[in-house]
Homo-oligomer: A and B are copies of this chain.
Amino acid sequence: MLIVKKFGGTSVGNVERIMNVARRCIEDYRKGHDVVVVLSAMGKTTDDLIAMAREVNENPSKREMDMLLTTGEQISVSMMAMAMGALGVPAVSLNAFQVAMHTTHKYGNARLKRIDTDRIMNELDQRKIVIVTGFQGVDKYDNITTLGRGGSDTTAVALAAALRADACEIYTDVDGVYTADPRYVKNARKLEEITYDEMLELATLGAGVLHNRSVELAKKYGVQIVVRSSLNENEGTIVREVTNMEKMLVSGVAVDKNASRIALIGLKDEPGIAFHLFHALSKYNINVDMILQSVGRAGTKDISFTVTEDVADEAVAILQKSFPKSNYEKIDVEKKVVKLSVVGAGMMTNPGVAANMFEALYDCGVNIKMISTSEIRVTVLIDESSMEKAMNAVHEKFALAD
């Protein structure tokens, strides 16, 4: 069996943890399996390097940033190979160019194009554990690229696909995927299985234990992922196309606190006004999420939309610059809001989910500010102050703890 195992920065955060991960990987090796390990940078290494870069240049070149940050994973993988060596198991570390991991040349956010498997297979044939740097690649001119934050998950899934691995295990600091965040919902339950689409919705909502692109990639190539904890031996959550479980209507409740609502009140009701508005924002790479247009007073309209909280002020500034003050009454920004979602593949064939969710919220007195839906998700925007109450009410309503 060929197993790809990915460990995040926390799991290799110090020398002791590196030894623990080494021991864990060696168990599978000693059973006769081929083991490929994908690692992120140790603990806060990436953040420290970013901070150091900002000291010399507030707006550093993305190419040089990738050159700098990729040293983090190279340190992890060589340390891990040494740790395994100390435990008597032959191991070899490989960085992106040694593998090679070919990517597009978009620094900071490159896409994997192709992975050469010769070197890895060759090392596995010599009964070595192969340890690969996550997160990084090389473009066609040998420049070093990175896959964006969380890209190590993508590396692991892509490697599993390229190597036709029998298993792809993503180790994290939680046991798996839960029906809700256990910090807020006491009786949240770990899911045994979840579909790619459900996982994608959860990842997009910020409840993600997995990097979004890694799930897309796993879906595309049919790579079955197991999400489990590096801190204990508990069974994790399996992510795959069709789950064996009785189809639950709803798999989980997710919240995304990184949301702000911007409202333009009293906009002139002219054709093209919405286009101009969202065009101005997209020019500055500001992603808009939920959108609501309603009829305002006296021949005007109101447009509200959500953006991530960190760009809310920028979005307002752009709007003030793009629209003469005479075109609208005022701009409102609300930052203390959260997106609350229920996600479930079973929803597709069952129309009652939204209504049930709204009922649960109504019963506990939570006001809904905006609504959006997809085939397998219903999302509402609510006040941050009622988040915990709302989560528990919805979790209860769909009997997720049972």
Contacts and interface: CB of A to CB of B under 8 A. Distances in A.
A142 B119 CA distance: 10
A57 interface: yes
A86 B67 contact: no
B57 A85 contact: yes
Given A142-B98, A143-B98, A67 B53 contact: no
Count this chain's copies in the assembly: 2
**Which DSSP category, helix, strand, loop or mixed, fits chain A's interface?**
helix
Interface stretch (A68-76, A179-187, A216-224): A68-76
A17 to B, nearest CB: 11
Nearest to A69: B78
Interface centre among A53, A71, A74, A83 (most CB of B within 10 A): A71
A219 B64 CA distance: 35
Interface in A206-258: none
A35 interface: no
Interface residues of A, number: 38
Given A15-B55, A56-B18, A64 B49 contact: no
A323 B81 CA distance: 40
Interface string A44-83: 0000010011011110110111011011001101110111
Nearest to A131: B64
A158 interface: no
A157 interface: no
A92 interface: yes
Contacts of A146: none
A75 B119 CA distance: 26
A78 B98 contact: no
A260 interface: no
A126 to B, nearest CB: 13
Contact of A85 (B61, B67, B144): B61
Nearest to A58: B86
Given A15-B55, A143-B98, A78 B68 contact: yes
B61 A81 contact: yes
A161 to B, nearest CB: 23
Nearest to A66: B78
A56 B86 contact: yes
Given A67-B93, A81-B61, A56 B19 contact: yes
Nearest to A119: B142
Interface in A12-35: 15, 18-19
B82 A60 contact: yes
11 contacts: A15-B55, A53-B82, A57-B82, A57-B83, A61-B82, A63-B92, A64-B82, A64-B85, A71-B74, A97-B142, A98-B144
Given A57-B85, A98-B142, 19 more contacts: A18-B56, A19-B56, A49-B75, A53-B78, A56-B83, A57-B82, A58-B86, A61-B82, A64-B82, A64-B92, A65-B78, A67-B74, A67-B93, A68-B74, A68-B78, A71-B71, A71-B74, A95-B144, A98-B144
